[in-house]
Amino acid sequence: MTSPGISRTRKADLTRLFQPETIAHVGASPRPAVGRFSFTKYLLTMNYPGRLYPVNPKYEEVHGLRCYPSLADIPDDVDLAILAVPSLQCASALREAPQGKVKFVIIHTSGFGEIRKAELEKELLELAQAKGFRIIGPNCMGIYSQEGRVGFWQDHWEIVNKPGSVGFISQSGGHAVNLLMGGMDTGIFFNKVISLGNQLDLTIHEVLEYMGKDPAIGVIGIYVEDVRDGNRFLGLLKDIVPGKPVVVWKGGTSAVGKEAVLSHTGSLAGDEAVFSAAMRQAGALLVDNSDHMVRLLRLLQPQFGLPAGSRLAIFSPGGGNTVSACDLFSSQPGLSLPPFGAETREKLKTLLPEENVDIRNPVDPGATGAVRIDQLMRVVSQDPQIDAILVLIGVDYLSNIKGEESRALAAEMISDLIATTVKQVKKPITVLLQQVRQNHEDFDRYRRIMLSKFIEKRIPWIDGSFKDAAQIYAQVAQYRNHLARLRQRESFPDGREKGSF
């Protein structure tokens, strides 16, 4: 597909986009309305440190700030202009601005209309070239930047004081909103997020290249519906993946989905089998839903480190659970649950109840407390056959303790103890936090207590079922193996392939 954006292979310096010193919000209003994004207000609640200019000829003041009739009236250069006005007003709002005054323009507006769409887009692109600005969107949310203290949603003030290393690039605004919401409460620390929308001008390639080189970013997630210039995309991934993992979620993989993509961002999706093969070749991790993206990004944050291998030990109370863990983990390619060495088995025997004459991996610790699980994990961590440990912590086991407040206290103490173990043992331990009882105020509370502790102490954790956890572990193993193959090729560089698609 040809598109105005494709032919260029510009390298944008996006520093001022993610750390703008001045922001203009065109279409600012003091009044809330359904579907209206109050960017000015969001930026104020985030303590955006730069100069902020609401623009709207109807008002003299918005949220205590002087409001300007137009971009031209602002007595300052504008690093970033956020346009939230009806589609037909976008071009006129930009036409007024002098050449060179504005660097980046986020066109939040969607619904450019089928009939006037091409004409409007052409006009915007001509303006961008004439005036020297870059366009993000249209039909997008814009950016979240922790260092820049910029966001696009009412609750971004909650996380803007939390530095992080996760970058996320999304063609869908909704997915960008949801990924930030789903990640921020559960231990994903974001650095930069961008919602690109229709990619009229700025495309995913430029952002990917920027984030790839950005030392503040340690892992990148991408939601993409159409990949224009596939060779360039693949080449970028191949350059970036050896240094930081990239998780790719491709929308529009089905025939019906492709039609929906066309309607959503007006772009064409390509051949899925080719795309998947190319992603594997580049070492990117493919996902097909948001939960999976959230789980992978969380676990791949650099502070957790990658496990050195894929031989797992699992701790999981209950015989049915150990069978299930076996089934789901051992059916994943590249993962194994090796038997423990003789020394480990002897040590475990002294710690486990008599009935467990048969010491196996996964370990069923039985009805025991966190202190015993701590001891068991320390023993297993010393087994040379084991690279990493996964421990199932069930919120529901707290029901064995009497009294609401004692349970809450126990939740705190157990998660504290597990956190200490995780910090002290030399092999990576991940917590699989499960809550079987749902729709229950008390257990919701215990879960929040435990989860908050794990996040506070930077303990890697997974939610979902064993099946979800097994998929995540398999993909992490796949990434590690990819890195190992790359290192091998570097030692014998003759065999290195140049791939394309």
Which residue(s) pair with 55 in the sheet? Answer: 26, 68
Please say which residue, 244 or 448, places its beta carbon nearer to its own copies.
Answer: 448
2 binding its own copies? (CB under 8 A): no
Q: Counting contacts by CB under 8 A, is residue 400 touching its own copies?
A: yes
Cα dist from 237 to 247, 288, 390, 488, 500, whole Å: 10, 18, 30, 19, 11
Q: Does 396 bind its own copies (CB under 8 A)?
A: yes
Query: Among 252, 270, 283, 460, which residue interacts with its own copies (rule: CB under 8 A)?
Result: 252
d(CA 267, CA 225): 8
Question: Per CB under 8 A, which region of 54-62, 105-113, 303-311, 416-424 contacts its own copies?
Answer: 105-113
Provide the minimum distance between the beta carbon of 319 and its own copies in the complex, in angstroms, as a whole number. Answer: 4
Q: Are the C-beta atoms of residues 84 and 55 closer than 8 Å to each other? A: no
Using omega within 30 degrees of 0 as the cis cutoff, is the peptide bond preceding 362 cis? yes
φ and ψ of 114, to 5 deg:
-65, -35
Comparison of 52 and 363: residue with beta carbon closer to its own copies: 363
Spatial contact of 361 and 314, defined as CB atoms under 8 Å apart? yes
Radius of gyration of the chain (CA): 26
Q: How far is the CB of 411 from its own copies (least distance, A)?
A: 13
Q: How far is the CB of 221 from its own copies (least distance, A)?
A: 13
Residue 347 CB, nearest approach to its own copies (Å): 19
Q: How far is the CB of 488 from its own copies (least distance, A)?
A: 29
**H or E element, residue 248:** strand 246-250
Do residues 333 and 474 touch, judged by C-beta distance below 8 A? yes
Which SS3 state, helix, strand or coil, does residue 123 take? helix
The first and second tokens of residue 100, run together, are 């060179």
State which of residues 40, 56, 171, 301 lies at the interface with its own copies (CB under 8 A). Answer: 171
Using CB under 8 A, pick the residue from 2, 7, 255, 495 that binds its own copies: 255
Which of 40, 199, 253, 344 binds its own copies (CB under 8 A)? It is 253
The secondary structure element, H or E, covering residue 219 is: strand 219-224
**Residue placing its CB nearer to its own copies in the complex, 304 or 397:** 397
Nearer to its own copies (CB atom), residue 303 or residue 331: 331
Please report, as residue ranges, which positions from 173 to 192 form the binding site for its own copies (by CB under 8 A): 173-175, 178, 181-182, 185-186
Closer by beta carbon to its own copies, 267 or else 430:
267
Residues 440-479 binding its own copies (CB under 8 A) are: 440-441, 444-445, 447-448, 451-452, 455, 464-467
Q: Which is nearer to its own copies, 22 or 170 (CB)?
A: 170
Q: How far is CA 472 from CA 164, 293, 309, 478, 500, in A?
A: 21, 9, 14, 10, 27
Residue whose CB is less far from its own copies, 186 or 385? 186
- Least separation in angstroms between residue 301's CB and its own copies is 17
d(CA 170, CA 188): 16
Q: How far apart are CA 369 and CA 400, in angstroms?
A: 10
Q: Restricting to residues 189-248, which ones interact with its own copies according to CB under 8 A?
A: 223, 225
What is the size of the binding site for its own copies (CB under 8 A)? 87
Range list of H helices, 50-202: 87-95, 117-131, 173-184
- For residues 54 to 83, the per-residue mask of contacts with its own copies, x marking binding by CB under 8 A and - elsewhere, is ------------------------------
**Residue of 7, 31, 35, 493 interacting with its own copies (CB under 8 A):** 35
Residue 451 near residue 482, CB atoms below 8 Å:
no
Which residues ranging from 131 to 170 are in contact with its own copies (CB under 8 A)?
Answer: 139, 154-155, 170
Which of 13, 60, 259, 490 touches its own copies (CB under 8 A)?
Answer: 259
Whichever of 32 and 75 has its CB closer to its own copies, that residue is: 32
- Distance CA(436)–CA(111), nearest Å, equals 43
CB environment 210-233: b (16+ within 10 A), e (fewer): bbbebeebbbbbbbbbbbbbbebb
Tokens of residue 337, six digits = 């649950």
Instruction: Quote the tokens at residue 82.
Output: 């956020």
Looking at residues 314 to 373 of the shown chain, list those that interact with its own copies (rule: CB under 8 A).
Answer: 317-324, 326-328, 330-331, 337, 353-358, 360, 362, 366-369
> Near its own copies by CB under 8 A, which window of 32-40, 96-104, 301-309, 404-412?
32-40
